[in-house]
């Protein structure tokens, strides 16, 4: 689909199931995402992502140099019903190396340049300090906080520069 300096970002395929499953069963990855999932839940989630329609985009991320699976990134309708939300999950061995920043920035660029969106949102638990820092580093601003999924969530947004 598109690429960043170090990553390929490709449309999710059924053949990616084993890689995607690694994310959903990893306790570190799922700490702020509702906990680990059993195989039936992963099958259902994968099916939903593969058969999403309209304004839903689900991609896998692979490192260019090795072809190794890094994670999952998506743009999907947010709970507010007005905006698309960027969300991401990366395997722990890829954390702290700038891959998430690079990929999320690439998806924001795609949203603004290819989809002509004026605004993108992201939602993360306020307890997920690393995710909050990542979003702020990319220029996203905290809009407000809500309690959802049994935890306080921070809603971030970024506006297209064409919106000024």
pTM: 0.92
- For the segment 124-154, what is each residue's pLDDT rounded down to a tens digit? 999 999 999 999 999 999 999 999 888 999 9
Please name which of 107, 85, 95, 100 lies closest in space to residue 26, comparing C-alpha atoms. 95
Distance, CA of 77 to CA of 30 (rounded, Å): 21
CATH code for the domain of 67 = 3.40.630.30
Domain tally for the chain? 1
Helix (H, G, I), strand (E, B) or coil at 76: strand
Q: What is d(CA 42, CA 85) in angstroms, rounded to the nearest whole number?
A: 21
Q: How do the pLDDT tens digits run along the chain, 164 residues long?
A: 899 999 999 999 999 999 999 999 999 999 999 899 998 999 999 999 999 878 899 999 999 999 999 999 999 999 888 899 999 999 999 999 999 999 999 999 999 999 999 999 999 999 999 999 999 999 999 999 999 888 999 999 999 986 54
Show the tokens assigned to 115: 């989809």
pLDDT tens digits for 111-124? 999 999 999 999 99
């Amino acid at each position: 689909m598109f690429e960043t300096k170090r990553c390929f970002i490709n449309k999710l395929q059924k053949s990616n199931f084993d890689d995607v499953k690694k994310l959903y069963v990893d306790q570190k990855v799922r700490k702020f995402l509702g906990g680990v999932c059993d195989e039936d839940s992963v099958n259902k989630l994968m099916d939903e992502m593969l058969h999403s329609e309209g304004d839903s985009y689900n991609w896998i991320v692979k490192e260019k140099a090795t072809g190794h699976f890094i994670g999952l990134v998506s743009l999907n309708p947010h709970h507010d019903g007005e905006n698309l939300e960027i969300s991401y999950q990366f395997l722990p061995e890829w954390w702290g190396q700038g891959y998430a920043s690079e990929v999320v920035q690439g998806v924001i660029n795609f949203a603004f340049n290819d989809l002509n969106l004026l605004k993108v949102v992201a939602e993360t638990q306020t307890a997920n300090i690393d995710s909050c820092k990542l979003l702020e580093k990319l220029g996203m601003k905290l809009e407000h906080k809500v309690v959802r999924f049994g935890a306080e969530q921070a809603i971030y947004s970024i506006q297209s520069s064409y919106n000024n």
